[in-house]
Amino acid sequence: MSQQGQPLRAVAARVLQSVENGQSLSQCLPHAMGDVADNERPPLQALCYGTCRWFHRLDGELQTRLKKPLRKSDRVVHHLMLVALFQLRFSQQATYAILNETVEACRALDKPHLTGLVNGVLRAAEREGEPPLADEAGRFSHPPWMLEKLRHNWPHDWQAILETNNTQAPMTLRVNALRFSRDDYLQLLSDAGIDAKATLFAPHGIQLTAPVPVDLLPWFSEGAVSVQDEAAQLCTTLMDLAPGQRVLDACAAPGGKTCAILESCGQLEEVVAIDESADRLPRVQENLERLDLAATLKQADAADIDQWWDRKPFDRILLDVPCSATGVIRRHPDIKLLRRESDIVPLASIQLGLLESMWQVLAPGGRLVYATCSVFPQENHRIIRRFLKQQDNAALVEPDVLWGRDMETGRQMLPVPESHDGFFYAVLEKPEP
C-alpha cells in the first residue's frame, strides 16, 4: 500500500484501462505516479510496461479462464487480473503476495463483489500454470493485424521482429561531441563503474550493458550525454552538415535530433525546430538548455508552410514524420494496444503531404533526410517512390553506409536484440537550377 493509500496494482489497472481507452503510457503514467509513493514508482512503471508488452499473451490466457467477459463497468478488474498474471508469469514475487494484494486492490477499486472471481482465477492460474495458446497473436503477444502485416512485408524476418519487440531495449547514449570524445566518455563511465561499449554505426553512440538512472551518468546534468537510440542518432551522419547552413528539424519534439544536429556542427547559421504540439515543445527547450544549445522553436503544423515559413529556404531538412512507430515497440509496448491497421493509410497520406511541403522550403542544392521509426514499407520506401514519381526535381542519394537494408529508395533498419531500433532513412537532394 502506498503512502497515498492507493494499492500499486489498482493504480496499474487504471493506467492500463486508460491505455485501452486510447491514451499512451507517456500520457497517463506520469499522472498515475502521483498516486503512489516515490519508492513504488519504478515498480509501477515496470508493471504497466510489462503488462502492455505481454498483453495479448496474458489476455489470451485470461479469456480462457473466464466463463464470460466482465461487464464494461467492471473492465478495470480485467486489467487488474492481467497485471497479476504478468507478475505470476514474469516476476519473482511470492505467489501468496500477488494473490492477496490483488484481492485487496480489487476492493480498493470499489469492486468487492468480484474478489471471489479474482481469487479463483488467479489461484487456478498459479496451480495449473500457463496454458498453451492456440493462436499466434497470443504466442507472439502482438495484435493479429500487426502480426499478419509483418509476415507479409518481412516473410523471412517477421518472427525475429516480433521476438525482438518483446525484449527490453538497451540504454544507449549520444555523447555531446562539443564536450567529449566518445573514447573519453567511455573512460569516464569505466571510472564510474558503468560497463559500456561503443555503438557499431553511430559515431558518438555508447551502449550500456545495463540501464542506470541518468543522474549516475558522469556530467549528465552539464550536458555531456543524452539518451538516444543508435538508429535515431544516424540522422546526422546523412545530413552532410557544414558551417553556415540553415537547418530545419520538422516534427522536432522531444528534441533529441535537434540537439544531435547542433552537436554535430557547431557553426550552423540557424537551426529551426518545429512541432505541432504546444505541450511537447517545452521538452525540446529543456533538452537544449541542459546541453547549452540554442535553436529557434516554433509551434506550427510543418505542412502549413504559410503559417510559419519566413520565405528563407533551408539548406538541410530533417523530416522525421509521424508514423506507426512499429520500429520502437520494445521501448513503447503500448503501441500494440494503441495502433490500428486503419491508421496506416492516413499516416501515409500525412507523410507524403509533409514531404511535399518540406520540398517547397528546401533550397536548390539542399538535402532532405526523410526518417521514420516504422518497419512498414507503406510508410517508408513506398512513400519515397511515390514522391519521386511526382517530383521531377528530386534526386535520390544512396548513402555509402554499412547499416540497414537497401530498399532502392532508402535504407531500412529492423530492430535488433541488444542493439538498435527499427528505423528507415531516405536522402533526397534538390538539384541546382
User: What is the set of active-site residues?
Assistant: 373
- From residue 353, give the alpha-carbon distance in Å to each of 320, 348, 350, 419: 13, 8, 5, 32
Cβ–Cβ < 8 Å for 169, 327: no
Could you tell me which of 345, 299, 303 has the C-alpha nearest to residue 324? 345
Q: Give the C-alpha separation, 250 to 321, whole Å.
A: 8
Q: Give the C-alpha separation, 385 to 388, whole Å.
A: 5
Q: Give the C-alpha separation, 241 to 186, whole Å.
A: 25
The number of beta carbons lying within 10 Å of the beta carbon of residue 270 is 14
Residue 78 neighbours by CB under 8 Å, 6+ apart: 62, 69, 70
Q: Give the C-alpha separation, 313 to 301, whole Å.
A: 17
Cβ–Cβ < 8 Å for 25, 52: yes
Expressed in angstroms, the distance from the first to the final Cα of the chain is: 69
Cβ–Cβ < 8 Å for 415, 327: yes
401 residue type, one letter:
V
